[in-house]
Each structure stands twice: as structure tokens, then as C-alpha cells.
Structure 1
């Protein structure tokens, strides 16, 4: 289970209309247990691009990054963790409007 300690969300303008629907960018600060391979003393955050469309909403892409160095971490979340992130983003879309 992921623990999101803080977040920000904003509506992203898409002047070229590449993706139908609205796009949002979420920055999710995560608390990672020390025994997890993703743990970093510098902190971890996830940058999520989320698309909201009538029948087809969901995560377009995400990046796991180290907080203080902004270094990209080449790891993927498990399906349950992605489902948690998707649910969190869906619940907080209105805050960007």
C-alpha cells in the first residue's frame, strides 16, 4: 500500500490536442518504508500525467523520481499500486479546476 504524504495537481493545457479529454499533472510525495527497494533517504515523488475523458480516464504516464536530486528512478509500480494512484488522481481531479 502506498502512503501519499502530500500532493499537487494542475490542469495542463494541450494546445495541439494530442490527447482527447483533459490532462492533469499530479506530483505525489510518497512515504516509502525503509525495507522497500524503492526507499531513498532523499525522498521519493511520482509525477503522474492523468487523462480525464468520459469513458476512458486513467494514467497516461508516470515517473518515479528522487526528491532532492530529481533523479529518475527506473522502476515500475505493481498493478495494485497503480490502481491506488489511479483512484487517488480520479478523486482529486476537481481540485485543479
Structure 2
């Protein structure tokens, strides 16, 4: 899996309920044709990141087929999730 591009924005909490900050990342991802996540049109990861006194963590993510815009029912492996977290954290 290779992250090729991204955009992100801070999610505003007008209620003040959330502790810390939240960010939404949209990551363009390329995977090898042999990978179970592979789709011909490519993939996008939508990642919600939380940053507070306890550190930074992924609180939610979706794997999205770029062509159909369908959410795919796949979970990232632990090493892939760690890679995504490191990438997003370095982009803040």
C-alpha cells in the first residue's frame, strides 16, 4: 500500500463535546494488483484522527472505491493502520 496524495481538514465541534481535536483525512492509496484491496479505479481512505492529551489515534476509517464511491468492507492490517497513522500525524 502506498499513499500518493492527501487532503485534510480540522473537524469543528460547535457543541464542545469532543475532547481535543479531530481531523478528517482523504488519502489516495495505490495497492498492488495482487492485494485483496485492489480495485481497477483505485482506492481512497477516509480517516478520522483524534488528537488530545493522550496522543494521536485513528478513531474511524473507511476504504472507498474511487470509481463507484462505495465503501468497501475491508479492515486494514495492523501494520497498514500504523503506516496510515504515521502518515497522517506527520501531515498535521
CA RMSD of aligned residues (A): 1.0
Q: Does 1:3 align with 2:14?
A: no
How far apart are residue 16 of structure 1 and its match? 2.1
Distance 2:16 2:74 in 1: 29
Which structure is richer in relative contact order (CA contacts within 8 A, separation 6 or more)? Answer: 1
Q: Could you list the runs of 5+ residues in structure 1 that have no partner in the other structure?
A: none
Aligned residues: 92
SS of 2:48's equivalent in the other structure is strand
Q: TM-score, normalised by structure 1?
A: 0.89
Bigger fraction of residues in strand: 2
SS of 2:16's equivalent in the other structure is coil
Q: TM-score, normalised by structure 2?
A: 0.94
In structure 2, the partner of 1:19 is: 18
Q: Could you list the runs of 5+ residues in structure 2 that have no partner in the other structure?
A: none
Flag as ranges the 4+ runs of structure 1 deviating above 6 A: none
Distance 1:31 1:65 in 2: 12
